[in-house]
Structure 1
Amino acid sequence: MADSPEPDTLWDDFHRVVNMTSAELADWLKVRDAGEETEPLPEAAGTETGKHVLAILQKRRTDLTHDDVRVMRQVVDTVGELVDGENEPAPETARDTGRRHRLMTLGHDPLKP
């Protein structure tokens, strides 16, 4: 990763919007992909972006790649678009539940303080 202030700000923004721990995200990705009769191997569970977020959470800032930086920007932008203000309402409809699940796949649980 290039040494500039922008990646430092991105690192902070990413860790602000990704409010799930790596263990919570790993568990969610496994649950999300589990079916009634089958379930993927643990390392294969989750979306590509979700797995990449999990990998980033397990890295040090100095170990980030350019692809990591791209995914971090994507996650910060997507979570920002999906979250309306600081006080997010609890999901009350199926649509809201779907929104919460999409956010959780990116490492952001809107029900966490």
Structure 2
Amino acid sequence: MATKTDQQDEHATQQEFFKLVNMSASELTKWLATAESKSVGQTKDGANESIGHQSGKQIVGILENKGKGMSEEDMQEVKRVISYIKRHLAQRPDHIENSNWEYSLKNWGHDPTKK
């Protein structure tokens, strides 16, 4: 049974996710269809799609269901997305426009060029 503290932690995690994921579901969907999106990221053995691109599709689903509650699987993905975005933001290169760094972050729902 989830405690009040667990629920507060989950809520804080969700808030952080929605702050870091600064692309809408439609923006991310359009991005994931581009050649640039498909050109970056690591793939698991035998996979045709990068891990970030796969995650992007899950993020779209989470964004589309915002406010309807999250499954345990969604929460695990939310935590993974937060970790990825924070880690990569800390590695910001000097030049970001049209870089693999930018493209990779966008696959995970964060557009570093947005203000």
Measured in 1, the distance between the counterparts of 2:96 and 2:66 equals 33
The question of whether the paired residues in 2 share the 8 Å contact of 1:25 and 1:107 is answered with yes
Query: Which of 96, 100, 112 is residue 91 of structure 1 equivalent to?
Result: 96
Q: Does 1:4 align with 2:10?
A: no
User: Quick one: structure 1 residues 17 and 51, their matched pair in 2 at CA, closer, same or farther if it must change by over 3 Å?
Assistant: same
State the superposition RMSD in angstroms: 2.8
Runs of 4+ in 1 over 4 A off after TM superposition: 87-90
Aligned residue pair count: 98
Measured in 1, the distance between the counterparts of 2:111 and 2:66 equals 22
Query: Which of 30, 49, 55 is residue 55 of structure 2 equivalent to?
Result: 49
Q: CA deviation at 1:62?
A: 4.0
Q: Residues 47-68 of structure 1: CA distance to partner in whole angstroms, max 9, x if unpaired?
A: 2211000000011344311010
Measured in 2, the distance between the counterparts of 1:83 and 1:33 equals 20
Measured in 2, the distance between the counterparts of 1:88 and 1:8 equals 32
- In the superposition, the TM-score normalised over structure 2's length comes to 0.73
Residue 19 (structure 1) aligns with: 22
Measured in 2, the distance between the counterparts of 1:74 and 1:103 equals 13
User: Quick one: structure 1 residues 14 and 89, their matched pair in 2 at CA, closer, same or farther if it must change by over 3 Å?
Assistant: farther
Correspondence list, 1:31-70, <5 A: 31=34, 32-33=37-38, 47-70=53-76
Percent of matched pairs sharing the same residue: 25
